[in-house]
Structure 1
Amino acid sequence: MTARLRRRAVGAGAKHKFVFIDRLLATLVSLRHGTTHDVLACWFGVDRSTITRAIGEVRPLLAQRGCTVAPGIRLGSLAEVIEHLGAEAQTGIIDGTEIRVRRPAAGRKGRDKFVSGKTKQNAVQSMVLTDAEGRVLFCSPARPGSCADITQARQLGLVELLVDSPFREILADAGYQGMGAQTGGRVVTPPHRTFKKNAPAWYEERHEQQRKAHSSRRIRVEHGIAHLKNWRALARHLGRREHMSDIVQAVAGLLSHQQTATLSRGLGT
């Protein structure tokens, strides 16, 4: 019997499997560019539900990696970051950042707690900690936008961590005033005004100089937050609010790895 070539219909045969590297790539594209799951499904030739499930599996893994401070060294908790800064005698800088989210449905319990007192918009908030150069070292889980900066820092246990450590100082803005006394002066905030009214000209000039000097030292954290917001997933989130903690911490870990790699190349290591 004469052998003949096997002919298959278009689309027949073994189906393509959505392997881990593809799931990771889809998650990275979603975080960096905010690409919708429908578009990603078209790119990878799978169903939208497959993309959603894959991102839901990979995103928590990225969030658990922590922030990279040196090649091969990651810090996963606030306690580890404080210990690292203390051991290296480095200054830390903290600030809160807000990310706009969808408003909870009408009639849902706790709907108003996502309204930010600063921006008057529906948002979640995360505390960001950087070193003196603006490299991201830690991002906290997301909290509703109505949570004050100092309240979130206290809930994270920052006061206890600073009191029990040889850490030198953390720079903060006026939203953290009051923590300096609780931490033995380790949290440094802008100077208070001594004169409320009818202040002499020399005092106004000196007070303004002190505030500018403090602001110029802590401006690096604003640069770190700006780099975080360059990731489209943190510009504005239109998905489920329950995923925001994983999103923030995943982006922080990826950004810190990029910053450390860039610094290592610059030093020639």
Structure 2
Amino acid sequence: MDRSTVSGAVREVRPLLAARGLAIPDRPGLWLRTLEDLFAYADAEGVRLRIDGTEVQVRRPHAGRSGRKAFVSGKKRQNTIKTTTVSDGQGRTLFSGVVRPGRVHDQTAVRTEGIAEQFRHRPKVKAQVDEGYRGLANEFPNQVSAPSKKPSEVAPLGEHHAWREQRRRQSSARICVEHTNAEYKQWRPLQRFTGRRETYAETHLAITGLVSDRSARRATRRKPSTEPVLARQATC
């Protein structure tokens, strides 16, 4: 089979997978596609969200092209594209998107997508974030939990120990979303994206949709079946 034939098939299938959304375990036929769907599901099911950002290295724009510096990440010092991931306590993907150049801050991106409005409309929804979303935690202290600031050097030793313990607990509660981002990076296109940057959003959403579908199927297989028990009871 020629390479052009495979590339054409990929171009046809990729947008279909990207538009399908993310599967939810134990909810056949339910797909989450937008932040509105995410917060409605979290509010109805009482799910505590874990929010984190991730970035993937991309090709450097050609010299002289406008907006060349927009992809330079302040953290990695490379040309990257960032996305935002939201998972539940078991590391299952509930939302992945907010695709933006690497120079845009995580909090700025999610605010642009309207996450603050969703917290206002859904006051029962709670989330855990890292220090990159501290402004969001300051605005919604009863809903968004972020690590506390480091005590000053002159603070008592007990405050430093309490701060370390709090950060440890916060990290343990958020490690599931870190594992979710790591699962995406097992796919070669998201280790270092070498294609056109214009197609990254579709590629990312297609892969996250496949990962969420696999996680949902895995959770369904692990769920114990009650059919044998009911059959034995009927026989007795």
- TM surpasses 0.5: yes
Question: Which of 23, 37, 47 is residue 68 of structure 1 equivalent to?
Answer: 23
Instruction: Measure, in 2, the Cα distance between the counterparts of 1:268 and 1:209.
Output: 36
Q: CA deviation at 1:103?
A: 0.3
Question: Which of 3, 6, 13 is residue 58 of structure 1 equivalent to?
Answer: 13
Contact 1:169–1:186, Cα closer than 8 Å, also in 2:
yes
Contact 2:98–2:110, Cα closer than 8 Å, also in 1:
no
Contact 1:71–1:261, Cα closer than 8 Å, also in 2:
no
Aligned counterpart, 1:261: 217
Instruction: Measure, in 2, the Cα distance between the counterparts of 1:139 and 1:190.
Output: 23
Question: What RMSD over aligned residues (CA atoms) do the two structures have, in Å?
Answer: 1.3
Aligned counterpart, 2:39: 82
Contact 1:78–1:138, Cα closer than 8 Å, also in 2:
yes
Question: Which of 123, 147, 151 is residue 108 of structure 2 equivalent to?
Answer: 151
Instruction: Measure, in 2, the Cα distance between the counterparts of 1:237 and 1:95.
Output: 20
Q: Deviations over 1:106-145 (max 9, x none)?
A: 1111111111100001110000000111111111142101
- Matched residue SS, 1:220: helix
1:208 has 2:164 as partner: yes
Alignment-mate amino acid for residue 252 of structure 1: T
Instruction: Measure, in 1, the Cα distance between the counterparts of 2:56 and 2:224.
Output: 36
Alignment-mate amino acid for residue 247 of structure 1: T
Alignment-mate amino acid for residue 224 of structure 2: G
Instruction: Measure, in 1, the Cα distance between the counterparts of 2:98 and 2:43.
Output: 23
- Taking the TM superposition and a 5 Å limit, the aligned residue runs for 1:22-61 are 45=1, 47-61=2-16
Instruction: Measure, in 2, the Cα distance between the counterparts of 1:225 and 1:96.
Output: 8
Question: Which of 52, 68, 71 is residue 114 of structure 1 equivalent to?
Answer: 71
What runs of 5+ residues in structure 2 fail to find an aligned partner? 226-236
1:173 has 2:130 as partner: yes
1:235 has 2:183 as partner: no
Instruction: Measure, in 1, the Cα distance between the counterparts of 2:200 and 2:210.
Output: 15
Q: CA deviation at 1:161?
A: 0.5
Contact 2:50–2:127, Cα closer than 8 Å, also in 1:
yes
- Matched residue SS, 1:119: coil
Aligned counterpart, 1:220: 176
Contact 1:93–1:132, Cα closer than 8 Å, also in 2:
yes
Give percent identity, aligned residues only.
39
- Matched residue SS, 2:142: coil
Q: CA deviation at 1:192?
A: 2.2
TM-score normalised per structure 1: 0.80
Q: CA deviation at 1:200?
A: 0.7
Contact 1:141–1:248, Cα closer than 8 Å, also in 2:
no
- Matched residue SS, 1:64: helix
Q: CA deviation at 1:258?
A: 0.4
TM-score normalised per structure 2: 0.91
Instruction: Measure, in 2, the Cα distance between the counterparts of 1:239 and 1:141.
Output: 19
Q: Which has the larger radius of gyration?
A: 1
Instruction: Measure, in 2, the Cα distance between the counterparts of 1:229 and 1:188.
Output: 26
Alignment-mate amino acid for residue 76 of structure 2: T
1:98 has 2:55 as partner: yes
Contact 2:22–2:212, Cα closer than 8 Å, also in 1:
yes
Alignment-mate amino acid for residue 144 of structure 1: P
Question: Which of 252, 255, 267 is residue 208 of structure 2 equivalent to?
Answer: 252
What runs of 5+ residues in structure 1 fail to find an aligned partner? 1-44
1:197 has 2:170 as partner: no
Aligned counterpart, 2:228: none
Aligned counterpart, 2:85: 128
Q: CA deviation at 1:184?
A: 4.8
Alignment-mate amino acid for residue 162 of structure 1: F
